[in-house]
Chains A and B, each alone.
Chain A
Amino acid sequence: MVNPHWLVRNKGLLFLLPSLLLTAIFVYGFIGTSFFYSLTNWRTLAVDLSLRDPLWQTYTDMLAMPRFQADLRNTLVFTVLFIGLAVGIGLGLAILLDRQIAGRGFFRSAFLFPYALSFIVTGVVWRWIFNPETGINLFFDILGINQVLESAGMRPLSPGWTTDPEVVLSVNQVLAHALPGGATFQIEWGIPVALIPIAIAATWQLSGFVMAMYLGGLGGISRQVRDAARIDGAGEFRMYRSVIIPMLTPITISTAIILLHVSLKIFDLVFAMSGVGPGFATDVPAIFVFEMMFKAARYNLGAAASIVMLIASCLIIVPYLVHTFRSRET
């Protein structure tokens, strides 16, 4: 029997219990189940929960798959491109809007609007924009850019965008020297050209959100700080570079973390815009999970890939959480 006094004293716990229970089942329980499935022989629709021998074979197989290697590369490249662009553009927009220009309210809303759309809508729209036949390539003709190039004896501009299978700036040579076993990669480690349009679309959608974050941060910097900088003789550029932007570092970190978990888990935008892409140039782990689970019915492989995605997210989120808790305590 539970002592009723104990319950009365720990009312808080009683109120927390339902959500703790739900989290335990629907978050941690399911993570555990997925992890267990990733170690089993379940690779058809007939459920087979016997453990694989050797136990980690599914993971070994998966890491040897060229497709999964390409997925890891794409996640890395996409993350760097997307966060760099979104943070840079968002910060730029915030600084411009912070300078009391005309039509400020209008632009603030206009830049934030794309954030209200779903990734699927963005994906479908940008897919047509970057279609090599009907999209922005037509502008190269309409604006006369191609005519100028041709008259100069150069080839007309018609990039393949998401259909371009090329991987530029390959670093396989470097990896082969730097890493033990680095020569065994079955894919080219570089920047898949087809990923760039996707990063642009994602940036279009989320740079408004970054701007809003920075506007909030800029509002918190008092006039005195700016005045002090000016009195010390800093020009406008110097003031932003040495005073304002460093003061915004906490905002930059939170923003980057939020964008990171968007990019690590991205599925809908890529799925609508290009699918797996030519030679898996735009494939991402989430699409891999979906296809292995529901098309190939390889449940163990799909589960293994989702566990890898979880670990990747944890590598980023956990240090951040630890950092925030520590700074709150002190």
Chain B
Amino acid sequence: MRILKLLPLLLLAACQGASDQTDTEKQVEVFTWWTSGSEATALETVLDAYRGAYPEVDLINASVAGGGGSAARPILQTRLLGGNPPDSWQTHHGAELMEYYVNPDFVASLRDLYEAEGWYELFAPSLIDMVSRDGEPYLVILNLHRSNTLWYNKPLLAEHGVVIGDSLSLEELLGIAELLQSANIPAMCMGDTGIWATGIMFENTLVGTVGPERYLGLWDGTVSFTDPDVMAAIENYGRLLDYQNADHAALSWDQAAKKLGDGDCAFYSMGDWVYGELIQNGLEENVDFGWVAHPGSDGTFLLVTDGFTLAKGAPNPTEALELLRIMGDRVVQEDFNLIKGSICARTDCDRSRFGPYLQWSMDKYAEGAAVPTVIHGSAAPPAFQQALNDALTNFVVQRDPLAFAETLAREARAAGFGQ
């Protein structure tokens, strides 16, 4: 009964809100999950570029905190299903883009923009393929992160007489881990309060053990998760888990990065968002920390991207397209990536502006086979991504490789791509 009394008031408030909206000048709303330190600063460089070009447009930055979009996506999902989309939002390439947004018809094709700006020549064809369906691109990619990097604390290893060359095999890594264990130092840094962090180590070990071709086969159904090679990868991953820091379940991924910097553990198998974190903690690349491809994955580039869409039926399509055009600009991409700690999606960025690690990453991207990440939603549908996270949560405790492999095989069939 009380709510009935309130109803007219609520209606009044709603009308008020609606009339406010029509009163204001032009606006555009962009939805991201970049809210923390370097991410937010990096995003601001893009937004500032837009504000500089269009001071009369009211740019609404609707960011929701939470790594990998874990908190943002539920809100976005509700808005999309409720028919109230933001003009543009952040997403990863591949399955996440296709399953969440292209299949249900929430996004508009960007082909005209790509053609007008000559982007078909300026972005790598393999990258454009990953954001396209039937020749229509649906995403402007802002940056490329490499997921399969093994970071190490240089002074700590030097103290124990270990020097890492250009590449490191799994057996070498395990040998060093044994050596460190006798000195009571955990070799592998981990912080898996968010289970995806150990997922990165699993996916890196998987691609490092089975190689890029068979890894891709897992997602098109030509390779099964119970394949002997995959079983070997699961065993290898289990061996690395044995050398983790004991408090891994209480730490987040960035706290583990701090542990690496402090020399409380030696190696960290993690994407290069760690690079930004280490630099922010005041460490110097090639002096305080070094890096190498995760064992076995030298020729592979596990790709994590961030890109932006155009909503189908966007409230402000003209302004949103301009924002996307600015995101694809060379200088904007350079400025953004220098802060974000990633490399440009465009191929013509000025590499001299970037430091040694990012230059290494550019070289690896240019020469290596780029494969999609499953942990960040590019390789498989969201239902499988969740199932993998759940299976990992169990495996980390129970260590039953066969049950793990069989669960993944079953979930892959349920998600419609496994054999």
Interface mask (B377-407 → A, CB under 8 Å = 1, otherwise 0)? 0000111011100100110111000010000
Given A18-B4, A131-B250, A278-B396, the answer on whether A44 and B103 have CB atoms closer than 8 Å is yes
Inter-chain contacts of B3 with A (CB < 8 A): 22
- Specify which of A43, A132, A294 is in contact with B77 (CB 8 Å cutoff): A294
Q: Does chain B have a CB within 8 A of A275?
A: yes
Q: How far is the CA of A162 from the CA of B397 in the complex (A)?
A: 14
**Interface residues in B93-116 (C-beta closer than 8 Å to A):** 99-101, 103-106
Q: How far is the CA of A98 from the CA of B368 in the complex (A)?
A: 75
Inter-chain contacts of A297 with B (CB < 8 A): 77, 99-100, 382-383
* Closest B residue, CB atoms, query A68: B390
Q: Does chain B have a CB within 8 A of A292?
A: yes
- Specify which of A22, A67, A293 is in contact with B390 (CB 8 Å cutoff): A67
**A276 CB to nearest B CB, Å:** 6
**Interface residues in A141-179 (C-beta closer than 8 Å to B):** 160, 162-163, 165
Secondary structure of the A contact surface, majority rule: loop
Q: Does chain A have a CB within 8 A of B73?
A: yes
Please tell me the size bucket of the interface on A: 20 to 34
Given A22-B3, A45-B103, the answer on whether A133 and B390 have CB atoms closer than 8 Å is no
Inter-chain contacts of A46 with B (CB < 8 A): 103-105
Inter-chain contacts of B381 with A (CB < 8 A): 44
Q: Does chain A have a CB within 8 A of B1?
A: yes
Q: How far is the CA of A292 from the CA of B73 in the complex (A)?
A: 13
**B372 CB to nearest A CB, Å:** 18
Q: Cβ of B382 and Cβ of A295 under 8 Å apart?
A: yes
- Specify which of B4, B103, B386, B394 is in contact with A296 (CB 8 Å cutoff): B386
Secondary structure of the B contact surface, majority rule: helix
**B272 CB to nearest A CB, Å:** 24
**A241 CB to nearest B CB, Å:** 43
Interface mask (B1-24 → A, CB under 8 Å = 1, otherwise 0)? 101100000000000000000000
Q: In the complex, how many residues of chain B place their beta carbon closer than 8 angstroms to a beta carbon of chain A?
A: 34
* Closest A residue, CB atoms, query B403: A186
**B68 CB to nearest A CB, Å:** 10
Q: Does chain B have a CB within 8 A of A235?
A: no
Inter-chain contacts of A43 with B (CB < 8 A): 383
Q: Does chain A have a CB within 8 A of B81?
A: yes
* Closest B residue, CB atoms, query A18: B4
Interface mask (B105-132 → A, CB under 8 Å = 1, otherwise 0)? 1100000000000000000000000000
Q: Does chain B have a CB within 8 A of A227?
A: no
Q: Does chain A have a CB within 8 A of B80?
A: yes
- Specify which of B80, B385, B387, B393 is in contact with A280 (CB 8 Å cutoff): B393
**B7 CB to nearest A CB, Å:** 10
**B190 CB to nearest A CB, Å:** 12
Given A67-B394, A294-B73, the answer on whether A163 and B383 have CB atoms closer than 8 Å is no
Given A18-B4, A163-B250, the answer on whether A296 and B385 have CB atoms closer than 8 Å is yes
**A45 CB to nearest B CB, Å:** 5
Q: Cβ of A133 and Cβ of B382 under 8 Å apart?
A: no
- Specify which of A18, A133, A276, A293 is in contact with B1 (CB 8 Å cutoff): A18
Given A43-B383, A296-B386, A298-B383, the answer on whether A132 and B393 have CB atoms closer than 8 Å is no
**B294 CB to nearest A CB, Å:** 24
Q: Cβ of A275 and Cβ of B383 under 8 Å apart?
A: no
Interface mask (B54-97 → A, CB under 8 Å = 1, otherwise 0)? 00000000000000001001100100110000000000000000
**B241 CB to nearest A CB, Å:** 12
- Other CB < 8 Å A-B pairs besides A163-B250, A279-B396, A294-B73, 20 of them? A43-B383, A45-B81, A45-B101, A46-B105, A65-B390, A66-B394, A67-B393, A67-B394, A131-B250, A132-B247, A133-B247, A163-B247, A165-B397, A278-B249, A280-B390, A280-B393, A280-B394, A294-B77, A296-B382, A297-B99
CB pairs A–B below 8 angstroms (13 shown): A18-B4, A44-B383, A66-B394, A132-B247, A162-B250, A279-B393, A279-B397, A279-B398, A280-B394, A295-B73, A295-B74, A296-B385, A297-B382
